[in-house]
Each structure stands twice: as structure tokens, then as C-alpha cells.
Amino acid sequence: MDTLSVLLQNVNLFETKYHRINGAGNWSYAIDKKDTILFYLVLSGGFCLDVGSEVRQAHAGDIIMISNAAQHISYALNYHGNEAKSLDARLVNEADSIIELNSADDNNVSLILIECQYDKEMTRPLLSVLPSILPELSDASDARFGVVDIEVKLLTLESEKERMGKTAVINHWAGIMMIECLRTYIESLPETTDNWLRALKDPYLAKAIAAMHYEPNENWTIHKLAEVAGMSRSSFAQRFKEVVGMPPLTYLIDYRLRLASRYLRLQQNSISRISELVGYASDSTFSQAFKRVYGVSPKAYRQQYQKKIAV
């Protein structure tokens, strides 16, 4: 399995919602969605997207991913949209109908908006190094992903008909769109970037990262990881730190504990079993390591999460 696929195994999108939006004339709106990944699919026409200080135009066939911004403004082409009103309430109240922005027969844009929740702990390192909007301007020519052309057609059909399994279909395609946006971004990263995702393009480091994610319970050492990478111990350790920004075993510990936090929230395994799954020799060693990072023991962390669900 390739490194990006292994990396994304525990990066799950869920509670996916989708909306059809038609715009006519001069229209604008603001959306404030904290801790949410958004996707726009432009079915026809075009519009402008303003996320923070970044403004992007999108046209028919484009896919836009808003990865780590709570608020954005959308507006018609050639319209500033400075007085955009919130669309959040309409997204809730009109979830099962097409949202019309100015009633008219001459729509200048037709959109599908998909919003997804995600596991914050597992996705944090990834989102921390992504731009607010994907693809970037330098990748504008790649915005019309060939494989996604089929998805756009399928999503259009799904949005026009009420069929069983619609939510599952939308959630599935959202995951595919995320992968398409990510790999286009990673493939475009220059060799001089300090973005740790460049390691996924490195033929040596990528092997070691994939191994750590695929078998986090393995008793990994610098020597073993260097062997997997096909490098000397010293060269591997130096290269990993330069590209990723931290030593290999620090990266491993961070991943193990984030994975443990996910297992604790899933409530499917005992703490002792989770300790084994993430590569700790004893429950006490695991508990100490977890508490150093999260401030509470694994048991207390699980109980806190159970209380949040109950509320």
C-alpha cells in the first residue's frame, strides 16, 4: 500500500451533509463552520470564494476543498460580496431542498456544497500544513480532476433524486475528493518546501513513514526504520528530522498516542488492548506517555469523552 493511503487509513470523514445551491444575479453569502471540511463542486457557471486573505474563482467542473478555515464568503463573479449574510441557518432549515440565491430563471451558478466532520486528533498534523483552499492557484490547471468528472455526474444525479443510501454515497465521494485534492497538492510541493508532507514524495522516508503507520505496534528503533528506508542509521535520522521537522521516534510516539486517543473514543477495546495496539510494552508505560501529552490518564480521557456524548 502506498504511503498516502496508509497515512489516511485513520483519517475518517463522517456526518457528511450536502446541499444544492443555485445563484442568480448579484448574490453573496457567508458560512461559518468550525472544525468542518468543506467541498464545492461547480456544476455550472462560476463564482468567487474568499477565505481569509485568499480569493479564488471557480468555474464549471472545478472542485474546491476548504481544509482549515472556519469562515468563508462566496459571491457571484464580478460582485464584491462585502455585505454577505450568513447562510448557516438556511443550510440547516433547507437541508432537503435546493437553496435559491435570488429567485430567477437565469442562474449564473449551480453548486453542490458538501460539509464533513472529521477526527480532529488524527487529522490535526495534516490540516496544520495545508493551505485554506485546495487546489492552490499554482495547481489551477489540475482543478478539473479527470477521475472526478465521473463523480460530479454521479453527485448531480444523487442530488436530483431521493434514493436509498444517498448519505453513504455522498460520504464515499467526499473521501475520494479529499484524496484527489491532497495528492494533487503533495505532488506539486517543491523540493525546497519545509512542509513535512514532502516526505511522502521521498522514496526513502516514505517507506519508513508507511511502516510506522501500518504497524504502530512494532518495536521500532532508528536502526529498524533505517533498514526499511534503505539508508544508514545516521543518514536516515538526519534526513527524517530535516524533512519532517522532528526525529523519527518522536514522530512515531506522536502518531501512536493520537491513534490511542482514537481507540479510546471508539470505546471498542480495553485500555490494556489499546496499549498493545499502539506498541507499548505495559499499561503503566502507556498511561504515563498518554498523560504527558493529554494531561489525563487513558481511563480519564475515555470517561471525559463518554460524558461529552451523554450531554
What CATH number does residue 119 fall under? Answer: 2.60.120.10
Q: Residues 76, 210: one domain?
A: no
Range of the domain at 295: 198-310
What one-character DSSP code corresponds to residue 148? Answer: H
Checking if the pLDDT of 308 tops 80, the result is no
Within a domain: residue 107? yes
Checking if the pLDDT of 252 tops 60, the result is yes
Q: Residues 13, 144: one domain?
A: yes
Give the tens place of pLDDT for each residue, 12-47: 888 888 888 999 988 999 999 888 999 998 888 999
One-letter amino acid for residue 204 of the chain? Y
Q: Residues 83, 202: one domain?
A: no
Within a domain: residue 192? no
What one-character DSSP code corresponds to residue 216? Answer: T
Confidence band of 160 (pLDDT split at 50, 70, 90): low
Q: Residues 67, 169: one domain?
A: yes
Q: Residues 129, 252: one domain?
A: no
Q: Residues 85, 208: one domain?
A: no
What CATH number does residue 218 fall under? Answer: 1.10.10.60
Give the total number of structural domains in the chain: 2
The percent of residues above 90 in pLDDT, for the chain, comes to 48
Q: Residues 211, 174: one domain?
A: no
Q: Residues 26, 126: one domain?
A: yes
DSSP, residue by residue, 38-73? EEEEEEEEEEEEEETTEEEEEETT-EEEE-S-SEEE
Residues facing residue 42 across a β-bridge: 111
Give the tens place of pLDDT for each residue, 184-214: 889 888 888 889 999 999 999 999 999 999 9
